[in-house]
């Protein structure tokens, strides 16, 4: 689950992380009033969407008058901002963040992520901030500093100081960085975040006094732990999310929309990824990732079919089930129920294996419906691609 930049900054501020003064606005008058309340003579107006690359796409503007704050906010609100992370359709801008402009001396990168190999939080830092960290990793990997944090003792001050010195911070800024890094880490752990990114973490000139602040912030939270984070759940902006993904979550399904025309209904994330790889290998393109999980009842399978079919680009559905906790007869009953209740008109390619596979295949054969059956994953992917091509 993602939240907006302004929400991330307000949350980090509660953990002692310094951020610029700012206020959210949903209209032109609110933007002007926000600038007036913040004070100063220069402001930054930022479009609030769940995507990076806003600056390059015109979603971040620096202005020198309150009239220009209002004019800029009016130009942003209601538009669709297209960045390298939104796709061609872009995302609607429904609010802006009006922030006091900072006199930037130097920008750095700071990020906390879950390292799957060590199964611990890893701190990433770089002297190259304000740009895509992926580009830095490709062109100057030596400029990215990594520290794996022992979850038993947490992020230690000496680790923060070592990071600060390694990226070029000096003097009082080193001690400021300790407070900032530990604040971000504490927020991440206590709030069940999967990712915390400060890009840029900036040294700014405050009337001759240099200070370290979080100039931008991104937090991403663990959906599996959100039930115990009511305050975070209340920050969720459903308008920013795909309605199909939101509905899928309510039915216990993991769904991610993609751009292809072959719908996928699979059990297990690994098998789902393998199914999409097989489709691509045969020259097709998956329309979605959908994991029905364990214990997929006929009703759950029906809901999965309905959500996949809400995508008008879907020309066929590949059902790939390797049953363990699941049962192939449940899946077969669910597919028949879906065909009868949803009046499915696109072909279904079905591969069943595992628990009660013979019962499942028999149910499909005796249903009188025209399922395209497959013996294995490769066979299923080939038939799905051929079917999608007509």
Q: Return the active site residues.
A: 109, 197
Question: What's the per-residue H, E or C state across 70-89?
Answer: HHHHHHHCCCEECCCCCCCC
- CA dihedral (166, 172, 173, 179) positive or negative: positive
Q: State CA 115 to chain mean position distance.
A: 17
What is the number of H-type helices and E-type strands within the chain?
13, 18
Report whether 288 contacts 309 (CB < 8 A). Answer: no
Cβ burial of 219 (10 Å; 0-12, 13-18, 19+) is buried
Instruction: Measure the CA–CA gap between 362 and 323, rounded to whole angstroms.
Output: 16
Instruction: Measure the CA–CA gap between 250 and 336, rounded to whole angstroms.
Output: 22
Q: CA of 58: how far to CAs of 21, 81, 93, 140, 161, in Å?
A: 22, 8, 12, 27, 36
Closest CA to 323 of 333, 309, 338, 315: 333
Beta partners for residue 211, in sequence order: 204
Beta partners for residue 80, in sequence order: 92
Closest CA to 45 of 90, 86, 79, 87: 79
């Amino acid at each position: 689950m993602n939240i907006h930049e302004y929400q991330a900054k307000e949350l980090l501020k509660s953990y002692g992380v310094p951020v610029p003064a700012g206020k959210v606005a949903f209209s032109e008058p609110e933007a002007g009033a926000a600038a007036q309340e913040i004070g100063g003579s220069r402001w930054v107006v930022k479009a609030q969407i769940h995507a990076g690359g806003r600056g390059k796409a015109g979603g971040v503007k620096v202005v020198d008058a309150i009239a220009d704050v209002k004019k800029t906010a009016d130009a942003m609100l209601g538009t669709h901002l297209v960045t390298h992370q939104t796709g061609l359709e872009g995302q609607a801008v429904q609010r802006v963040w009006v922030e006091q402009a900072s006199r930037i001396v130097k920008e750095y990168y700071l990020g906390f992520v879950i390292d799957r190999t060590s199964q611990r939080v890893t701190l990433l830092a770089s002297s190259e901030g304000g740009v895509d960290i992926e580009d830095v990793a490709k062109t100057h990997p030596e400029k990215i500093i990594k520290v794996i944090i022992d979850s038993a003792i947490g992020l230690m001050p000496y680790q923060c100081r070592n990071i600060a010195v390694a990226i070029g911070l000096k003097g009082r800024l080193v001690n400021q960085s300790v407070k900032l890094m530990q604040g971000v880490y504490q927020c991440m752990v206590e709030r069940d975040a999967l990712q915390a990114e400060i890009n840029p973490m900036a040294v700014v000139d405050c009337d001759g006094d240099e200070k370290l602040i979080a100039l931008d912030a991104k937090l991403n939270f663990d959906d599996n732990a959100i039930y115990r984070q009511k305050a975070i759940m209340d920050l969720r902006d459903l308008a920013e999310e795909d309605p199909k993904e939101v509905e899928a979550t309510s039915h216990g399904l993991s769904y991610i929309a993609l751009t292809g025309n072959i719908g996928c209904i699979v059990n297990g994330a690994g098998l789902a990824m393998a199914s999409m790889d097989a489709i691509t290998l045969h020259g097709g393109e998956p329309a979605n990732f959908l994991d029905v999980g364990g214990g997929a009842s006929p009703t759950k399978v029906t809901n999965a079919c309905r959500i996949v079919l809400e995508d008008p680009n879907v020309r066929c559905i590949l059902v790939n089930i390797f049953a363990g906790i699941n049962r192939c007869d449940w899946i077969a009953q669910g597919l028949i129920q879906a065909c009868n209740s949803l009046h499915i008109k696109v072909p279904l390619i079905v591969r069943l294996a595992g628990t009660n596979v013979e019962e499942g295949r028999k149910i499909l054969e005796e249903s009188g419906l025209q399922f395209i059956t497959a013996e294995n994953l490769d066979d299923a992917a080939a038939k799905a691609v051929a079917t999608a091509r007509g």
